[in-house]
Amino acid sequence: MEYRKRVLVTGGAGFIGSHLCDFLLAAGYEVVCLDNFVTGSRRNIEEALGNSRFSLIEADVEKPVDISVDYIFHLASPASPVDYKRIPIRTMLSNSIGTYNCLELAKKTGARLLMGSTSEVYGDPQVSPQKEDYFGFVNPVGPRSCYDEGKRFAEALCKAYEKEHETEVVIVRIFNTYGRRMRRDDGRVIPNFVCQALENKPITIYGEGLQTRSFCHVADMIRGLEAAMLTTHTQGEIINLGNPREIRIIDLANIIKEKCSSKSPFVFSELPTDDPLQRRPDIEKAMRLLGWSPKVEIEEGLDDVIEWFRQRRNGR
């Protein structure tokens, strides 16, 4: 019988994790999804659950997991500011003890581990665009620190395992990603603006909306994650994945309002503490090492997300 590669996706019922599970199943892998449904949802894996190559472990990643695997994608963590500010301790534990458990499993099985890190390790960056060798500008005790420092610890732990045990690790810093299956209540800017615009409710702009982000469509992100995992010469590398097109939040609000033919007014409120003023990935390394670059333009990607939220409003 042909040996099928087995992949563990922690956080596999989350937004990015569930898209990754679908992609891996379509590519012929056996997929084990580990999730505690704290921020993920069963609905995201409804289709996958019907596939005989898919299995679900409903558990916290803070508990050790003992299965045989070839690849581990460690994505389990609350990832939206609203979520991680609500459950800061769990956020820190999924990135510290959770990463430790994944690394121990990688050490034991010889699996390769992809650590799903974040652009938040750069904090409120003082340089733009952000390259992987930038150390960041992070408040260690602010409202975002549970996530930022959790991921920074996770990265350092990966490096420690690489050094002491030669564990195969690749660290990917995921920049803002959007697409179908984002939760409408996760507080992030795209679901917020799209749902507000579709319902003709006020669009909530924090600060004056002059802060920037760069938004990557989830389909591009998944291709990048797969390439980072499967390209052998990424061993030990730290790679930014994101879309380098930078956009001001106020401009994003205008695009979404227009696309939804919305009558929503804009309401402005204070910029949250430590909200980064700019964020844009330098993706030269991903292009060079992985031959990867994002393809979906924000206008096209937004059409897809708007359509999805529209269907959900209509009960589909």
Q: Does 189 bind ligand UDP (CB under 6 A)?
A: yes
Q: Which is nearer to ligand UDP, 2 or 270 (CB)?
A: 270
Closest approach, Cβ 184 to ligand UDP, in A, equals 12
Closest approach, Cβ 67 to ligand UDP, in A, equals 32
Positions annotated as catalytic residues are: 147
CA separation for the pair 307, 302 (Å, rounded): 8
Q: Does 188 bind ligand UDP (CB under 6 A)?
A: yes
User: Binding string to ligand UDP for residues 72 to 91, with x set by CB under 6 A, is what?
Assistant: --------xx----------
Q: Which of 236, 241, 186, 188 is nearest to 217 (CA)?
A: 241
CA separation for the pair 155, 289 (Å, rounded): 19
Query: Which tokens sit at 232?
Result: 């052998």
Q: Does 308 bind ligand UDP (CB under 6 A)?
A: no
Closest approach, Cβ 71 to ligand UDP, in A, equals 27
Residues 231 and 287 sit within 8 Å (Cβ to Cβ): no
Number of residues that bind ligand UDP (CB under 6 A): 15
Q: Does 158 bind ligand UDP (CB under 6 A)?
A: no
Query: Which tokens sit at 200?
Result: 């003709």
Out of 111, 157, 249, 305, name the contact with ligand UDP by CB under 6 A.
249
Read off the amino acid at residue 167. T
The residues in 11-30 that bind ligand UDP, with binding defined as CB under 6 A, are none
Q: What is the CA angle 80-85-87, rounded to 5? A: 100
Contacts of 241 (CB under 8 A, 6+ apart): 172, 173, 174, 175, 216, 221, 224, 225, 228, 281, 283, 286, 292
Out of 23, 153, 206, 266, name the contact with ligand UDP by CB under 6 A.
206
Q: Note the residues at the interface with ligand UDP (CB under 6 A).
A: 80-81, 176, 187-189, 192, 204-206, 211, 213, 249, 272, 275
